[in-house]
Amino acid sequence: MSAPAAAEMGLVVSGYTDQRFRGYSLSDGRPVGIIDLSYDRSGGFYADASGTVVLARDEGLRGLGVALNAGYARRISDGLTLDLGAVHSRYSHYSALVGSRSYTEAYAGISGKFIGARLSVSPNYIGPAHWTLHGEVNGHADLGRTLLVDGSLGLLATLGSRGYQGLARPQWDARLGLSQRAGAVQLHAAITARANSSQIYVSHRHGRLAIVLGISSAL
Three-state secondary structure readout of 72-121: EEEEEECCEEEEEEEEEEEECHHHCCCCCCEEEEEEEEEECCCEEEEEEE
Q: What is the pLDDT of residues 186-196, one digit of tens each?
A: 999 999 998 86
Please tell me whether residue 208 adopts helix, strand or coil conformation: coil
DSSP 129: S
Query: Has residue 10 got a pLDDT over 70?
Result: yes
What CATH topology corresponds to 7-218?
Answer: Porin (2.40.160)
pTM exceeds 0.75, yes or no: yes
pLDDT of residue 208: 83
Residue pair 119/133 in contact by the 8 Å Cβ criterion: yes
User: What is the average pLDDT score of the chain?
Assistant: 88
pLDDT of residue 104: 93
Please spell the DSSP secondary structure of 4-54, one letter per residue. Answer: PPPEEEEEEEEEES--EETTEESSTT--EEEEEEEEEETTSEEEEEEEEEE
Q: How far apart are CA 117 and CA 140, in angstroms?
A: 12
Closest Cα partner for 123 from 86, 168, 71? 86
Q: What is the pLDDT of residues 65-104, one digit of tens each?
A: 999 999 999 999 888 999 999 999 999 988 877 666 788 9
Q: What is the pLDDT of residues 108-162, one digit of tens each?
A: 999 999 999 999 999 888 765 678 899 999 999 999 999 999 999 999 988 865 5
pLDDT of residue 6: 65
Query: Has residue 164 got a pLDDT over 70?
Result: no
Q: Please, which pLDDT band fits residue 3 given cuts at 50, 70 and 90? A: very low
pLDDT of residue 14: 98
Q: How far apart are CA 143 and CA 164, in angstroms?
A: 41
